[in-house]
């Protein structure tokens, strides 16, 4: 994922709301969200770069486990010989470790992965860890935004999306406002662009919540709404031009 908005336990009857965009090169093969044949409790998309049993960028389970990942953008810190970060999400979803115990394993394995941010938790607690800052802690109730820097870094698209999320929460159970904020393709002005080590052209392209590009773009938008009654995941996949290719609605009772 390249943009994740989370509302955690600040609504009385809806403890978790997630709205997220996955940005990726068009040539990278993936499967849309579905229950995994080899892990039937896991509901997630799947990265097929390393074969049919690859990792994922965001997922939930029937038992209430949740995890989502973003890359930390700094080309100077990126290497080609490290493990796939998608397995960090998959391992948590498949596993049974408590979030606080999983944090221990993340710290122990931090050097084996390129820079990342991970949000993960269960029905009781939600946690954040970055192997860049080695910051790991439980999150109190509130609204959070994460792109390709640390949690709540006020990049323009993060700030805009967090503000829009507050309004979208008021419209629940209607979920279209959540997808609307993910479709925001407004670029940031040059003076507000972050400086992450990529070219100015790329900083401009990546500065909007929704990215349109010939080779790199927003590939999918995902909304997760977990209430006391059920959990619903809804996903739209996109073409490079921003045309919806598919829409899936899956409910966990």
Q: Is the pLDDT of residue 140 over 90?
A: yes
At 191, list the tokens.
Answer: 């003076």
Enclosing domain of residue 182: 3-252
| Total number of domains constituting the chain | 1
What would the DSSP string read from start to end of 36-93?
ETTEEEEEEEEE-TT-TT---SEEEETTS-EEEEEE---GGG--SSSBPTHHHHHHHH
- What would the mean pLDDT of 121-129 be, rounded to a whole number? 97
Angle at 196 between CA 190 and CA 197, to 5 degrees: 105
Model confidence pLDDT, tens digit, residues 13-34: 999 999 999 999 999 999 999 9
CATH classification of the domain holding 102: 3.60.60.10
In whole angstroms, give the CA distance from residue 159 to residue 169. Answer: 16
Quickly state the pLDDT bin for 51 (edges 50, 70, 90).
confident
- What would the mean pLDDT of 128-142 be, rounded to a whole number? 97
Is cis: bond before 150, omega within 30 of 0? no
Instruction: Please report the pLDDT score of residue 1 as a whole number.
Output: 76
- What would the mean pLDDT of 73-100 be, rounded to a whole number? 97
Model confidence pLDDT, tens digit, residues 176-234: 999 999 999 999 999 999 999 999 999 999 999 999 999 999 999 999 999 999 999 99
């Amino acid at each position: 994922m390249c943009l994740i908005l989370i509302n955690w336990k600040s609504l009385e009857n809806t403890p978790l709301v997630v709205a997220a965009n996955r940005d990726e090169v068009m040539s990278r093969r993936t499967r849309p969200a579905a229950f995994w044949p080899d892990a039937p409790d896991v509901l997630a998309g799947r990265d097929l770069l390393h074969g049919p049993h690859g990792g994922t960028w965001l997922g939930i389970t029937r038992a209430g486990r949740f995890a989502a990942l973003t890359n930390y953008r700094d080309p100077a810190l990126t290497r080609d010989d490290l493990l796939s970060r998608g397995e960090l999400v998959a391992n948590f979803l498949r596993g049974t470790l408590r979030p606080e115990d999983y944090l221990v394993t993340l710290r122990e394995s931090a050097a084996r992965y390129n820079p990342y941010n991970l949000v993960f938790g269960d029905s009781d607690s939600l946690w954040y860890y970055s192997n860049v800052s080695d910051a790991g802690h439980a999150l109190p109730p509130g609204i959070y935004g994460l792109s390709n820097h640390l949690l709540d870094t006020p990049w323009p698209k993060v700030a805009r999306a967090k503000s829009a999320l507050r309004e979208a929460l008021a419209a629940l159970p209607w979920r279209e406002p959540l997808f609307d904020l993910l479709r925001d393709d407004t670029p940031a002005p040059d003076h507000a662009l972050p400086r992450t080590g990529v070219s100015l052209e790329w900083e401009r392209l990546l500065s909007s919540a929704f990215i349109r590009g010939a080779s790199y773009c927003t590939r999918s938008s995902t909304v997760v709404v977990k209430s006391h009654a059920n959990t619903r995941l809804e996903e739209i996949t996109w073409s490079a031009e921003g045309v919806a290719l598919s829409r899936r609605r899956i409910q966990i009772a």
